[in-house]
Amino acid sequence: MKAAIIIFSDPSHGGDEALGRAFNGLAAAYDFKQQGTEVSIYFQGAGTRWAALVGKADHPLHPLYQAVEELVAGVSCGCADVFGAREEAEKNGFSLITDNRVPGTSGLPSIAQLSQQGYSVFSF
């Protein structure tokens, strides 16, 4: 089994629910990692805004993020453009994912490609 964790929650509007969804997405990735399962984490939609926050030492997600940081595939490039997160994502060293060339965008992660590669996709 392989797992793709996609975090969509919006840290700027979701309050506790958004934090909880991001936390549980990272916790699921940690769980898969501990079980020896191949896992990749993607930040997509408004979730691309997490790229500006998870690396901050005083952020509640930071310790968990550090435990799974090597599993982060990156952020959706097109979504980062739309949600104003591209500059922070690049500044914080996140890869910009452009596999799915959706018209009018700079590209997004390809859920179809992940599925074809045998990943089970989990969204948070």
DSSP states along 57-111: TTSTTHHHHHHHGGGEEEEEHHHHHHTT-HHHHHHTTPPEE--B--TTSS-B--H
CATH number of 2-123: 3.40.1260
pLDDT of residue 72: 98
pLDDT per residue as tens digits for the range 102-124? 999 999 999 999 999 999 999 99
pLDDT of residue 86: 98
Cβ neighbours around 117 below 10 Å, total: 12
**Token pair listed for 8:** 């969509």
pLDDT of residue 13: 87
pLDDT per residue as tens digits for the range 21-70? 999 999 999 999 999 999 999 999 999 999 999 999 999 999 999 999 99
Average pLDDT over the chain reads 97
Burial (Cβ within 10 Å: 0-12, 13-18, ≥19) of residue 46: buried
pLDDT of residue 14: 74
